[in-house]
Chain A
């Protein structure tokens, strides 16, 4: 046997190279998640939203936007471990940039009747208005990405708490700057003003009023007379959700994502194994800011939302941080789950909204002490190993939620403070029930899917080959250790890396 065949690394390389699919198949494989996402978005828009009614359709929109924002924050906080608490700042940059394009752009393009108060949605599905809106979203993302570059650069010198403060400072600076701007120009005035002049009139402390509501939950139907109701907001939001999810997943399992995780775990060690940590950190910031900008753009055009510097302050950033931290920093499915749950929660807690934030804060502290890596850690939901146990746990959780919902839903003491607390417990019970059922369904699907997949899987995946080889190698190392005299116990083991 020649030495090259003996070397397991070379054999692995050869076998992985042999199992590499051709570019055409690889291209299709890359495209199918996005295609599926777009189809799901279309189904949500055309079939599910009309069934849900306006209230739940709006909730669906909120959930979608929250997912875009939380997953983007997960890239920088979860993957790269660069703790950013100014994400709402990126959102604000993207939102205002996009609103500038759709509002003043619509006026410049002459889509607004003279004397009209606000700017209306223009054109049909994927018509010129929608194209302008999509372009505005991308523009918002790009502007936010530039801001991300500006914030990412100091991150090269700072770590941990200092970086958190700088991102916070960035968010505040953006807020203060936006508050200095003047009121939005009305369409008649705006038609004559230059775009540079328009950029100075983005609402100031009152907010950017009158943005066209491209992101509306009203089911989009064209009746026989050709009149259109609502707009394809859900479709657009969930298309962006699909894109951000695919990008995040592919980033996580790629070399770049592994580099980010290495930076998160130990920056010095990452540098030592050849990761360009500066590049990795800036890439994380720019990517996260890009999608935060898109999230902000979607938010800016949502029905019932006025783009307002007050709304997008520190509190908003913290809401997003809670979604990422509670779910587990680095787990994309976990963050999606948390974003969904924490968007539904305030609706359930309507009666006792004052208890929402204390409960969030307490949950944050308790999770950090009891389970520092967050609920899911870095694992995706389907990677959690003893799935049967998790399935049981989520079913038990759901049952407990049901009991607490029903029990606390009936008890009233008569003292307002106590009653609203009990109402909060009841609402949380409801949420736990919902969360437990969703989690149980997910685990069941994963188990079924896993069983089916392993049955039909014919070719070994590179991962399986690697696992096999590593066990071979472990055997070789053990055999070698038996031959050699007894190994000296390592005296490095109890050395602590004290700062």
Chain B
């Protein structure tokens, strides 16, 4: 029973990380109808940028003041938002009218570019680095033998906060209404006086900022940062993507539900079946969903018009 509850707690922690990243995929898909392959690398940059920032402030050795983590979070989000906007402007905007395959290949190109520029000596380097502890890694409480770590609580609380912020942004503000309009029909939205390009740019910024938050939380939780081109990051991004697809890509709430589902399957599979196959479960789910319900669990089926 304790194992079961512990796995449950762990999967909620992991699921919130996936949710933050999956939202980026889903938001971009909503407005541009393509899968931003470079998103997982924005996540990586988020993790590495927060490492660089935290080390630059010199908190690695001394222990950090209480405002360290929110500060790094905000800065990393700003860096990644700028990066996301730059990517959109330089790589994707010239291809607005191009066939989807070209956009897909460009996205893969951007992803490779970010990974390998991150590997350069004067960027992040090829060595794995330990993340400075911005939060005390201690057990907050023990309920029925289940360890609840401070980091997990903070990550989950912050994730819920960011998600509520996003929900408010999308459903309660003019900007959100414009985003939904662009997602519904780009042409009509532009006829209604919405600056479509600006909305797309902002969407990229928001998605990338969420990925940065995910990156920071990941770095805090799993403190050994792998090198930027390591397969771990690609895999992480893929799982978040799978979460977005399972939830129905383009659907914001679906992405969160999908992320939790993926995390549950991964954690429970690792706990009760075999820990070596944890990546396998996720891909099996992906293929099953795509085979039987390609629009995802909460997505609407789209009929292709000719």
Q: Which residues of A contact B (CB under 8 A)?
A: 81, 83, 85, 154, 157-158, 160-162, 164-166, 168-170, 172-173, 176-177, 179-180, 268, 313-314, 318, 321, 325, 354-355, 357-358, 360-362, 364-365, 368-369, 372, 416-417, 497-499
Chain A residue numbers with a CB within 8 Å of B305 are 497-499
Chain B residue numbers with a CB within 8 Å of A165 are 35, 238, 241-242, 245, 286, 290
Q: Once bound together, how far apart are the Cα atoms of A498 and B121, in whole Å?
A: 46
Chain A residue numbers with a CB within 8 Å of B100 are 160-161
Judge whether B102 is part of the interface by a CB distance below 8 angstroms.
yes
Chain A residue numbers with a CB within 8 Å of B113 are 358, 361-362, 365
CB distance from B242 to the nearest CB of A (A): 8
B187 with A498: CB separation less than 8 A? yes
Judge whether B306 is part of the interface by a CB distance below 8 angstroms.
yes
CB distance from B124 to the nearest CB of A (A): 12
Q: Once bound together, how far apart are the Cα atoms of A360 and B116, in whole Å?
A: 10
Q: Once bound together, how far apart are the Cα atoms of A226 and B121, in whole Å?
A: 53
Chain A residue numbers with a CB within 8 Å of B294 are 157-158, 162
A176 with B102: CB separation less than 8 A? no
A180 with B287: CB separation less than 8 A? no
B99 with A372: CB separation less than 8 A? yes
A357 with B279: CB separation less than 8 A? no
B103-111, B163-171, B173-181: which lies at the interface: B103-111
A314 with B231: CB separation less than 8 A? yes
Q: Once bound together, how far apart are the Cα atoms of A364 and B119, in whole Å?
A: 18
CB distance from A41 to the nearest CB of B (A): 33
B290 with A158: CB separation less than 8 A? yes
Judge whether B120 is part of the interface by a CB distance below 8 angstroms.
yes
Q: Which residues of B contact A (CB under 8 A)?
A: 33-35, 91, 94-95, 98-102, 104-106, 108-113, 115-117, 119-122, 187, 229, 231, 234-235, 238, 241-242, 245, 276-277, 279-280, 283-284, 286-287, 290-291, 294, 304-306
Q: Once bound together, how far apart are the Cα atoms of A133 and B266, in whole Å?
A: 40
A321 with B108: CB separation less than 8 A? yes
Chain A residue numbers with a CB within 8 Å of B284 are 173
CB distance from A366 to the nearest CB of B (A): 9
CB distance from B42 to the nearest CB of A (A): 15
Most chain-A Cβ atoms within 10 A of its Cβ — which of B98, B112, B286?
A: B112
Most chain-A Cβ atoms within 10 A of its Cβ — which of B105, B108, B120, B290?
A: B105
Partner of A160, one of B101, B121, B245, B277: B101
A180 with B277: CB separation less than 8 A? yes
B290 with A166: CB separation less than 8 A? yes
Closest residue of chain A to B278 (Cβ to Cβ) is A176
Chain B residue numbers with a CB within 8 Å of A179 are 276
Interface of A: prevailing SS = helix
Other A-B pairs beyond A354-B120, A417-B121, 8, CB < 8 Å: A83-B101, A157-B291, A165-B286, A354-B121, A361-B116, A368-B98, A368-B102, A499-B304
Q: Once bound together, how far apart are the Cα atoms of A335 and B188, in whole Å?
A: 42
Chain B residue numbers with a CB within 8 Å of A354 are 116, 119-121
Chain B residue numbers with a CB within 8 Å of A85 are 108
B112 with A176: CB separation less than 8 A? no
CB distance from A340 to the nearest CB of B (A): 21
Chain B residue numbers with a CB within 8 Å of A161 are 34-35, 100, 104
A-B CB contact pairs (8 Å), 21 listed = A157-B294, A160-B104, A162-B245, A162-B294, A165-B241, A165-B286, A166-B287, A169-B238, A169-B287, A170-B283, A172-B235, A176-B276, A180-B276, A354-B116, A357-B116, A361-B111, A364-B106, A365-B106, A365-B113, A369-B95, A498-B187
Closest residue of chain A to B120 (Cβ to Cβ) is A354
Chain B residue numbers with a CB within 8 Å of A313 are 231
Q: Once bound together, how far apart are the Cα atoms of A354 and B229, in whole Å?
A: 12
Chain A residue numbers with a CB within 8 Å of B238 are 165, 168-169, 172
B109 with A368: CB separation less than 8 A? yes
B283 with A172: CB separation less than 8 A? yes
CB distance from A86 to the nearest CB of B (A): 11
CB distance from A113 to the nearest CB of B (A): 36
Partner of A368, one of B106, B242, B286: B106
Closest residue of chain B to A269 (Cβ to Cβ) is B306
Q: Once bound together, how far apart are the Cα atoms of A172 and B242, in whole Å?
A: 13
Q: Once bound together, how far apart are the Cα atoms of A160 and B105, in whole Å?
A: 10
Partner of B112, one of A180, A268, A361, A372: A361
CB distance from A298 to the nearest CB of B (A): 25
Q: Once bound together, how far apart are the Cα atoms of A362 and B91, in whole Å?
A: 10
B105 with A368: CB separation less than 8 A? yes
Q: Once bound together, how far apart are the Cα atoms of A360 and B121, in whole Å?
A: 18
Chain A residue numbers with a CB within 8 Å of B231 are 313-314
B105 with A499: CB separation less than 8 A? no
State whether A361 and B110 are in contact (beta carbons under 8 Å apart), knowing that A161-B34, A417-B121 are contacts in the complex.
Answer: yes
B280 with A177: CB separation less than 8 A? yes
B283 with A169: CB separation less than 8 A? yes
Q: Once bound together, how far apart are the Cα atoms of A64 and B26, in whole Å?
A: 42
Q: Once bound together, how far apart are the Cα atoms of A499 and B302, in whole Å?
A: 10
Most chain-A Cβ atoms within 10 A of its Cβ — which of B102, B122, B229, B283?
A: B283
Chain B residue numbers with a CB within 8 Å of A360 are 112
Those 3 A-B pairs whose CB atoms lie nearest each other, nearest first: A364-B109, A361-B113, A357-B116
State whether A318 and B276 are in contact (beta carbons under 8 Å apart), knowing that A173-B283, A498-B305 are contacts in the complex.
Answer: no
A372 with B98: CB separation less than 8 A? yes
Q: Once bound together, how far apart are the Cα atoms of A83 and B107, in whole Å?
A: 13
A358 with B110: CB separation less than 8 A? no
Chain B residue numbers with a CB within 8 Å of A321 are 105, 108
Chain A residue numbers with a CB within 8 Å of B277 are 176, 180
CB distance from A470 to the nearest CB of B (A): 27
Chain A residue numbers with a CB within 8 Å of B119 are 354, 357
Chain A residue numbers with a CB within 8 Å of B304 are 268, 499
A176 with B95: CB separation less than 8 A? no
Q: Once bound together, how far apart are the Cα atoms of A168 and B35, in whole Å?
A: 14
CB distance from B266 to the nearest CB of A (A): 13
A499 with B276: CB separation less than 8 A? no
B280 with A176: CB separation less than 8 A? yes
Closest residue of chain B to A499 (Cβ to Cβ) is B305
B280 with A497: CB separation less than 8 A? no
Q: Once bound together, how far apart are the Cα atoms of A357 and B126, in whole Å?
A: 14
A166 with B286: CB separation less than 8 A? yes
Chain A residue numbers with a CB within 8 Å of B287 are 154, 166, 169
CB distance from A496 to the nearest CB of B (A): 9
Chain A residue numbers with a CB within 8 Å of B91 are 365, 369
